[in-house]
């Protein structure tokens, strides 16, 4: 019924070739002629095709037609609206047409790229176009909503990605809240000994940045803290942060470390020392920690568990220990959020045939970083688990848990270079023979392959093949007391058994164990692997589909330090751009409740994922707050009275589009269909 | 419910009679009701599938068809022999995955008036049933003679954990079920690196030198760890390591003495059963010296001492801490 209404609109149709992307599968000229002819009585006054509609010439064509032919509606049959809706809407706006009167028909992603039969694809392109024409008739001119932007930014995660992002924004003069779960910022990078390929000391390049972040007047550092709640929308987020009780009064603490020294309770440090060293129940994770204040690990503290001890309290020279501290909840207002939550290491115990956890001298890469770190548990001496014997032969196994369909299909990106670094360090410090077991060497970035050449020349031996097992079951002479690496050397085509003293497993990166919960908290999505999905993998790698929420570093996928730092800076540039604009235009695609039709049943109130619907007790009706509404349409579908309509997605628009898709709009074919379509 | 259909398989009646006897001896203690499939036949072992697929699958499926007729409230077939278990599971799995195979096999079965719907029965190994249905707590509660001081090497062989069609094992490459069971009995369980390696199978008949080498590796590794005996759940593995150990010693001029028994025999000992009832004394490599360690009444051990090889290097108490393994803590606390 809607499709057959009297239509006075003057519609221009533009069919894009997209080079051969569309024209290769769809007969573009035929679509154009069909639209000009068969859709003429639906208001199409002209139809054109063009090689690249998105080019400036293509856009000018639309602008010229709007002015010369008095077009009141525009339909562009081209790519997905994700890509170029904005381009064509802007072109219309330049010609004086309200941008929301322009509609895109996706005949690339949904037609030419997914079909091979040209005739069928052409027919489908016509149907999709016809749907867009019917829909655009019912489009209404809309005005975007302008809201002010809060100039503060929340950075979640204090690794190198978060530190970089926070510093860039703070240096530009805007406030930043940097939230970190651990007692100190620094992240994984603070655990490393050297960084490839330059072999810079990791701490030497990281510590200055940590100190800057800790002392910057514009950065509010919140360590030992976690974000627990996020409300609001781009420009105006309200974030609740849980500050765990440190049991140390930071105003009084000087960071002298006496508490840590005197604490009688020794605990294996699973985080900073990767399980290879010890810390106390009250501890500063590492000497360069920022902030320098210790925390008391409540589950391990003798006082909290048994009620006696208080050694730290008695011996603290400034009386800074306070066992009565409580967790604190802080609420902050921010305009943008940058997630830099990092990665977890693949748990090598999941591949028991590699022996980690069973065989003493099988180490993970993170353990080896601590082992080789001068500030680590062995002062940088590379030794077996007995704590004193230097290895004579070391095997480094690449791709542990990566590129393996049993665990993770993806490449963890850093392990090849990291394994080469290990080979170099072992040779330099111990002179041991080093074997690297790889599937493919991946050394693509600047100066990486040169480093590989260097390690080759140093005499490290490379065996190409996935290791079958690491065992201590000696079989041949010379294997007694060794770890034997059984591997198929695929370059030679034979099985090898290589006895070594130490095995280092280059375990891959995995999303944080709670990545999905974090994504839910911030209203973004993860891929099936668990990495955060970016807005566009190539052209918008640090934004997410949720406006105002950005993702940087390994939370988005495995990457090395240079790429992580670049992303931190990139996201802050995006945020700064936003802040400078002072306000942001929100898409006017919003739900709207017809107050006369609303029965006050409140079904929509609880369904709204953005808490955008308020209920007026006095009038017993619900109302949508347009600034909070994201236009998801949940309430529209749920309303039993049909009282809610989505601006830009009205029933009229959708039903007309369906009729157009089914070609019910042509030649009076409507008459053949029984009048069962609901209003 | 601990009522199952039992497919014993040929070896349980001959070379592995100790396995059968000990299973029968402990079943009441465990509350296991085992109902033998009437008129079962050979599963074809490892060879027949290599010769002709349809007859081989039909041979296996005849047992499934018979079992399906006999389901007295259970749809689970338990096989203690690993080759039998693998063959039954394999037939069940592939006939479901490739319907045409099921059709062909049923055509053949029809000649004997039989029919089997692929996937309608569950095929499980005895160890899986004991661990997952009866549970280690129940097993522990029945132990009256803990195997304290007995060092055992758990050896599963290759056929039970792999390919793990139904994802029943903790890890198909390095399962821990047998280790956990033996620990529950109070034995000192070594982390046996070759627990899923090959025993040589029927290579003893085809290429003895190959089999001897595979047997040597197993026995050597167990010996290196000072195991008192090896524990298996596979009649083939038991036969090879036990009956061919003498030949292997001759072949390599070694002097290993590594008894190998079935896990059900040790369960019986821990439950306080009589060793003779459990089939001890039928093995080639004498278990008496090992059993003497846990005070099981046996005649005085025979003369002849084996030299002690050097201890392999393992984790020491001092030095750097070992990574914590999942499940370790609960075992300590319980």
Which CATH number characterizes residue B80's domain?
1.20.1050.140
- A188 & A226 share domain: yes
pLDDT 10s digits, B102-147: 999 999 999 999 999 999 999 999 999 999 999 999 999 999 999 9
pLDDT reported for residue A248? 95
Mean pLDDT of chain B: 89
Q: Which residues of B touch A276 (CB under 8 A)?
A: 320-321
Q: Which of A275, A278, A472 sits opposite B323 (nearest CB)?
A: A275
Range of lowest pLDDT (A44-53, A106-115, A664-673)? A664-673
CA distances from A303 to A117, A297, A298, A324 (A): 75, 11, 9, 12
The yes-or-no verdict on residue B214 having pLDDT over 90 is: yes
- A523 & A400 share domain: no
pLDDT reported for residue A207? 95
pLDDT reported for residue A550? 97
Over residues A173-193, the mean pLDDT reads 96
- Asked if A480 contacts A474 with a C-beta cutoff of 8 angstroms, the reply is yes
The number of beta carbons lying within 10 Å of the beta carbon of residue A351 is 24
- B158 & B89 share domain: no
Q: What is the pTM of this model?
A: 0.79
> In chain B, which among 289-318 make CB contacts under 8 A with chain A?
310, 312-316, 318
**Which domain range does residue B47 map to?**
3-126
Give the percent of chain A with pLDDT over 70: 97
- A431 & A457 share domain: yes
In total, the C-beta contacts within 8 angstroms joining chain A to chain B are 74
A513 close to B (CB below 8 A): no
- B239 & B190 share domain: yes
pLDDT 10s digits, A510-558: 999 999 999 999 989 899 999 999 988 888 999 998 889 999 999 999 9
In angstroms, the separation between the Cα of residue A507 and the nearest Cα of chain B is 14
The yes-or-no verdict on residue A571 having pLDDT over 50 is: yes
pLDDT reported for residue A420? 97
Q: Which residues of B touch A385 (CB under 8 A)?
A: 315-316, 319-320, 322
A387 close to B (CB below 8 A): yes
Query: Does ipTM come in above 0.85?
Result: no
Q: What stretches of chain B show up as alpha helix (H) in DSSP?
A: 17-30, 53-69, 82-97, 99-110, 126-129, 136-142, 177-184, 203-206, 208-224, 235-243, 245-252, 263-270, 288-292, 328-333
In a domain, A98, yes or no: yes
- Widest pairwise Cα distance in chain B: 69
The yes-or-no verdict on residue B302 having pLDDT over 70 is: no
In a domain, A353, yes or no: yes
- B219 & B85 share domain: no
In angstroms, the separation between the Cα of residue A262 and the nearest Cα of chain B is 22
Cα–Cα distance for residue pair B179/B188, rounded to 1 Å: 9
pLDDT reported for residue A343? 97
In a domain, B161, yes or no: yes
A278 close to B (CB below 8 A): yes
- Asked if B61 contacts B95 with a C-beta cutoff of 8 angstroms, the reply is yes
pLDDT reported for residue B52? 86
Cα–Cα distance for residue pair B134/B78, rounded to 1 Å: 13
In angstroms, the separation between the Cα of residue A407 and the nearest Cα of chain B is 13
Q: Which residues of B touch A377 (CB under 8 A)?
A: 320
Q: Which of A364, A386, A471 sits opposite B319 (nearest CB)?
A: A386
Q: What is the DSSP string of A334-399?
A: ESEEEE---EEE--GGGSGGG-BTTBTTEEEHHHHHHHH-TTSTTTT----TTSSPPPSEEEEEEE
Q: What stretches of B254-314 show up as alpha helix (H) in DSSP?
A: 263-270, 288-292
The yes-or-no verdict on residue B307 having pLDDT over 80 is: no
Over residues A590-618, the mean pLDDT reads 88
pLDDT reported for residue A6? 58
In angstroms, the separation between the Cα of residue A313 and the nearest Cα of chain B is 29
Q: What is the CATH number of the domain that holds A364?
A: 3.50.50.60
In angstroms, the separation between the Cα of residue B295 and the nearest Cα of chain A is 30
In A, minimum Cα distance to B325 occurs at A357
Over residues A290-319, the mean pLDDT reads 94
Q: Which residues of B touch A484 (CB under 8 A)?
A: none
In a domain, A96, yes or no: yes
Helix (H) or strand (E) holding B124: strand B122-125
| Domains: count for chain A | 4
In angstroms, the separation between the Cα of residue A426 and the nearest Cα of chain B is 18
In angstroms, the separation between the Cα of residue B308 and the nearest Cα of chain A is 14
pLDDT reported for residue B224? 92
Range of lowest pLDDT (A214-223, A234-243, A480-489, A639-648)? A639-648
Q: Which residues of B touch A268 (CB under 8 A)?
A: 321, 324
- A504 & A355 share domain: yes
pLDDT 10s digits, A122-151: 999 999 999 999 999 999 999 888 889 999
Closest CA to A474 of A485, A463, A482, A464: A482
- A537 & A557 share domain: yes
Inter-chain CB proximity B220 and A387 less than 8 Å: no
Tokens of A296: 């008391």
B167 close to A (CB below 8 A): no
- A120 & A62 share domain: yes
In angstroms, the separation between the Cα of residue A275 and the nearest Cα of chain B is 6
In a domain, A394, yes or no: yes
A475 close to B (CB below 8 A): yes
Cα–Cα distance for residue pair B93/B119, rounded to 1 Å: 7
Cα–Cα distance for residue pair B286/A172, rounded to 1 Å: 82
- What sign results for the dihedral spanned by CA atoms B77, B79, B85, B87? negative
For the CA atoms of A126, A128, A134, A138, what is the dihedral angle to 10 degrees?
A: -150
- Asked if A591 contacts A624 with a C-beta cutoff of 8 angstroms, the reply is yes
Over residues A557-568, the mean pLDDT reads 96
For the CA atoms of A566, A567, A569, A572, what is the dihedral angle to 10 degrees?
A: 170
Label residue B301 by pLDDT band (50, 70, 90): very low
Choose one of A457, A482, A510: the last residue of a domain. A510
- Asked if B83 contacts B45 with a C-beta cutoff of 8 angstroms, the reply is yes
Q: Bridge partners of B124?
A: B78
Q: Which residues of B touch A352 (CB under 8 A)?
A: 171, 173-174
Inter-chain CB proximity A473 and B217 less than 8 Å: yes
- Asked if A614 contacts A625 with a C-beta cutoff of 8 angstroms, the reply is yes
Inter-chain CB proximity B193 and A473 less than 8 Å: yes
In a domain, A437, yes or no: yes
pLDDT reported for residue B320? 80
Q: For B211, phi and psi rounded to 5 degrees?
A: -65, -40
In a domain, B303, yes or no: no
Cα–Cα distance for residue pair A123/A666, rounded to 1 Å: 14
In a domain, B326, yes or no: no
A109 close to B (CB below 8 A): no
Residue B213 CB partners (closer than 8 Å, separation 6+): none
Helix (H) or strand (E) holding A104: strand A102-106
Range of lowest pLDDT (A345-349, A503-507, A554-558, B276-280)? B276-280
- A349 & A249 share domain: no
> In chain A, which among 115-154 make CB contacts under 8 A with chain B?
none
pLDDT reported for residue B317? 60
The yes-or-no verdict on residue A258 having pLDDT over 50 is: yes
Q: Which residues of A touch B315 (CB under 8 A)?
A: 360, 385
| Domains: count for chain B | 2
Q: Which of A276, A357, A360 sits opposite B314 (nearest CB)?
A: A360
Kindly list the strands in the beta sheet with A153-156, ordered across the sheet, starting from the edge strand earlier in the chain.
A219-222, A176-179, A153-156, A336-339, A549-551
In a domain, A616, yes or no: yes
SS3 A146: strand
Please tell me whether the peptide bond between A197 and the residue prior to it is cis, using omega within 30 degrees of 0.
Answer: yes
Label residue A316 by pLDDT band (50, 70, 90): very high
In a domain, A672, yes or no: no
> In chain A, which among 476-505 make CB contacts under 8 A with chain B?
480-481
In A, minimum Cα distance to B312 occurs at A481
In a domain, B301, yes or no: no
Over residues B15-29, the mean pLDDT reads 94
Inter-chain CB proximity A475 and B217 less than 8 Å: yes
Q: What is the DSSP string of A513-564?
A: TTHHHHHHHHT--B-TTSPBPPSBTTTBTTB-SSTTEEE-GGGSS---HHHH
pLDDT reported for residue B308? 54
Q: Bridge partners of A194?
A: A201
Higher pLDDT, A611 or A282: A282
pLDDT reported for residue A678? 45
**Which domain range does residue A104 map to?**
11-144
The yes-or-no verdict on residue A275 having pLDDT over 90 is: yes
Q: For A306, phi and psi rounded to 5 degrees?
A: -115, -10
pLDDT reported for residue A650? 86
- Asked if A166 contacts A213 with a C-beta cutoff of 8 angstroms, the reply is yes
Choose one of A465, A481, A510: the last residue of a domain. A510
Label residue A78 by pLDDT band (50, 70, 90): very high
In a domain, B316, yes or no: no
Choose one of A463, A492, A510: the last residue of a domain. A510
In a domain, B68, yes or no: yes
- Asked if A532 contacts A555 with a C-beta cutoff of 8 angstroms, the reply is yes
The yes-or-no verdict on residue A396 having pLDDT over 70 is: yes
- A161 & A303 share domain: yes
B226 close to A (CB below 8 A): no
Over residues B199-214, the mean pLDDT reads 92
pLDDT reported for residue B326? 67
pLDDT 10s digits, B236-266: 999 999 999 999 999 999 999 999 999 999 9
Q: Which of B220, B221, B312 sits opposite A481 (nearest CB)?
A: B312
Q: What is the CATH number of the domain that holds B241?
A: 3.40.50.11810
- B229 & B98 share domain: no
Label residue B44 by pLDDT band (50, 70, 90): confident
Give the percent of chain B with pLDDT over 70: 90
In angstroms, the separation between the Cα of residue B50 and the nearest Cα of chain A is 25
The yes-or-no verdict on residue B316 having pLDDT over 80 is: no
A473 close to B (CB below 8 A): yes
In a domain, A664, yes or no: no
> In chain B, which among 98-127 make CB contacts under 8 A with chain A?
none
- A236 & A360 share domain: no
Choose one of B92, B126, B160: the last residue of a domain. B126
pLDDT 10s digits, B267-277: 999 999 999 99
- A410 & A502 share domain: yes
Q: What is the CATH number of the domain that holds A597?
A: 3.30.70.20
- A314 & A374 share domain: no
- B238 & B192 share domain: yes
How wide is the angle at C-alpha B117 spanned by C-alphas B116 and B120, nearest 5°?
Answer: 110
In angstroms, the separation between the Cα of residue B212 and the nearest Cα of chain A is 13
Q: Which residues of A touch B310 (CB under 8 A)?
A: 480-481
Q: Which residues of B touch A388 (CB under 8 A)?
A: 319
A371: left (phi over 0), alpha (psi -120 to 50) or beta: alpha
- A365 & A219 share domain: no
In angstroms, the separation between the Cα of residue B210 and the nearest Cα of chain A is 14
Label residue A608 by pLDDT band (50, 70, 90): confident
Q: Which residues of B touch A472 (CB under 8 A)?
A: 193, 312-314
Over residues A232-255, the mean pLDDT reads 93
């Amino acid at each position: 019924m809607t499709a057959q209404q009297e239509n006075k609109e003057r519609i221009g149709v533009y069919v894009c070739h997209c080079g051969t992307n569309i024209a290769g599968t769809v007969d573009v000229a035929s679509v154009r002629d069909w639209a000009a002819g068969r859709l003429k009585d639906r208001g199409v006054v002209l139809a054109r095709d063009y090689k690249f509609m998105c080019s400036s010439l293509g856009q000018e064509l639309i602008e010229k037609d709007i002015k010369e032919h008095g077009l009141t509606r525009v339909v562009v049959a081209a790519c997905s609206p994700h890509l170029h809706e904005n381009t064509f809407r802007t072109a219309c706006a330049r010609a004086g047409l309200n941008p929301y009167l322009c509609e895109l028909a996706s005949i690339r992603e949904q037609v030419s790229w997914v079909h091979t039969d040209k005739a069928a694809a052409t027919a489908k392109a016509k149907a999709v176009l016809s749907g867009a024409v019917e829909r655009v008739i019912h489009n209404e001119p809309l005005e975007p909503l302008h809201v002010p932007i809060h100039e503060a930014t929340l950075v979640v995660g204090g690794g190198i990605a978060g530190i970089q992002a926070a510093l860039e924004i703070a240096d530009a003069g805007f406030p930043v809240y940097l939230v970190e779960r651990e007692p100190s910022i620094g992240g994984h990078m603070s655990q490393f000994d050297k960084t490839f390929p330059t072999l810079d000391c990791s701490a030497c390049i990281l510590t200055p940045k940590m100190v800057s972040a800790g002392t910057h007047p514009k950065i509010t550092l919140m360590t030992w803290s976690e974000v627990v709640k996020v409300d609001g929308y781009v420009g105006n987020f309200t974030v609740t942060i849980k500050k765990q009780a440190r049991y140390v009064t930071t105003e009084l603490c000087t960071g002298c470390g006496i508490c840590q020294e005197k604490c009688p309770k020794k605990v294996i440090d699973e985080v900073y020392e990767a399980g290879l060293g010890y810390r106390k129940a009250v501890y500063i994770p590492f000497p360069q920690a920022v902030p320098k204040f210790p925390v008391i690990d409540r589950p391990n503290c003798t006082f909290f568990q048994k009620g006696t001890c208080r050694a730290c309290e008695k011996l603290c020279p400034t009386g800074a220990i306070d066992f009565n501290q409580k967790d604190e909840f802080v609420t902050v207002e921010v305009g943008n959020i940058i997630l830099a939550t990092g990665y977890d290491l693949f748990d090598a115990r999941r591949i028991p045939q590699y022996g980690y956890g069973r065989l003493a001298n099988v180490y993970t890469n993170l353990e080896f970083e601590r082992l080789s770190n001068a500030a680590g548990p062995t002062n940088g001496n590379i030794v077996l688990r007995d704590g004193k014997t230097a290895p004579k032969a070391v095997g480094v196994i690449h791709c542990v848990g990566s590129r393996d369909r049993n665990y993770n299909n993806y490449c963890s990106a850093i392990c090849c270079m990291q394994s080469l670094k290990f080979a170099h360090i072992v040779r330099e410090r111990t002179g041991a023979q080093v074997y690297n077991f790889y599937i493919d060497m991946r050394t693509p970035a600047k100066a990486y392959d040169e480093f590989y050449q260097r390690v080759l020349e140093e005499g490290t031996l490379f065996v190409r093949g996935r290791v079958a097992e690491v065992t201590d079951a000696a079989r041949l002479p010379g294997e007694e007391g060794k770890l034997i690496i059984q591997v198929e050397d695929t370059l030679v085509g034979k099985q090898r058994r290589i006895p070594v003293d130490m095995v280092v497993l280059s375990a891959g990166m995995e999303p944080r164990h709670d990545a999905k919960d974090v994504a839910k908290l911030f209203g973004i999505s993860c891929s099936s692997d668990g990495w955060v999905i970016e807005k566009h993998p190539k052209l918008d790698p640090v934004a997410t589909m949720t406006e105002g929420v950005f993702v940087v570093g390994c939370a988005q996928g495995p990457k090395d330090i240079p790429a992580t730092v670049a992303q931190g800076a990139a996201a802050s540039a995006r945020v700064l751009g936003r802040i400078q604009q002072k306000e942001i235009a929100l898409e006017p695609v919003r739900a709207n409740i017809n107050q006369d039709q609303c029965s006050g049943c409140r079904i929509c109130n609880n369904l709204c994922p953005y808490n955008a619907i308020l209920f007026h007790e006095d009038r017993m009706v619900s109302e949508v707050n347009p600034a909070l509404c994201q236009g998801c349409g949940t309430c529209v579908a749920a309303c039993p009275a049909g009282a809610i309509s989505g601006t830009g997605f009205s029933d009229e628009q959708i039903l007309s589009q369906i009729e157009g898709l089914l070609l019910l709009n042509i030649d009076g074919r409507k008459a053949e269909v029984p009048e069962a379509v609901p209003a | 419910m601990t009522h199952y259909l039992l497919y014993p398989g040929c070896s349980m009646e001959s070379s592995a009679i100790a396995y059968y006897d000990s299973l029968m001896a402990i079943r009441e203690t465990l509350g296991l009701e085992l109902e033998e499939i009437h008129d079962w036949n050979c599963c074809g072992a490892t060879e027949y599938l290599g010769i002709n697929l349809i007859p081989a699958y039909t041979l296996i499926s005849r047992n499934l068809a018979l079992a399906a007729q006999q389901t007295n409230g259970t749809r689970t077939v338990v096989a203690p022999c690993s080759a039998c278990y693998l063959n039954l599971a394999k037939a069940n799995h592939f006939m479901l995955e490739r319907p045409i195979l099921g059709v062909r096999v049923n055509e053949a079965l029809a000649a004997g008036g039989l029919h089997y719907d692929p996937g309608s029965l569950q095929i499980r190994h005895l160890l899986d049933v004991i661990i997952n249905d009866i549970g280690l707590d129940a097993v522990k509660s029945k132990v009256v003679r803990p195997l304290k001081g007995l060092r055992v090497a758990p050896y599963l062989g290759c056929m039970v954990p792999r390919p793990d069609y139904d994802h029943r094992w903790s890890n198909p490459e390095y399962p821990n079920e047998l280790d956990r069971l033996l620990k529950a009995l109070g034995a000192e369980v070594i982390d046996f690196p070759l627990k899923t390696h090959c025993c040589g199978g029927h290579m003893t008949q085809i290429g003895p030198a190959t089999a001897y080498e595979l047997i040597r590796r197993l026995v050597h590794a167990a010996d290196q760890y000072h195991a008192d005996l090896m524990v298996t759940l596979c009649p083939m593995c038991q036969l090879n390591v036990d009956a061919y150990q003498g030949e292997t010693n001759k072949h390599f001029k070694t002097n290993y003495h590594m008894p190998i028994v079935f896990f059900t025999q040790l369960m019986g000992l821990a439950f306080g059963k009589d060793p003779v009832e459990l089939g001890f004394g039928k093995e080639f490599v004498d278990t008496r010296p090992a059993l003497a360690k846990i005070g099981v009444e046996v005649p005085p051990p025979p003369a002849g001492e084996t030299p002690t090889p050097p201890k392999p290097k393992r984790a020491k108490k001092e030095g750097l801490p070992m990574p914590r393994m999942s499940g370790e803590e609960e075992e300590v606390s319980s």
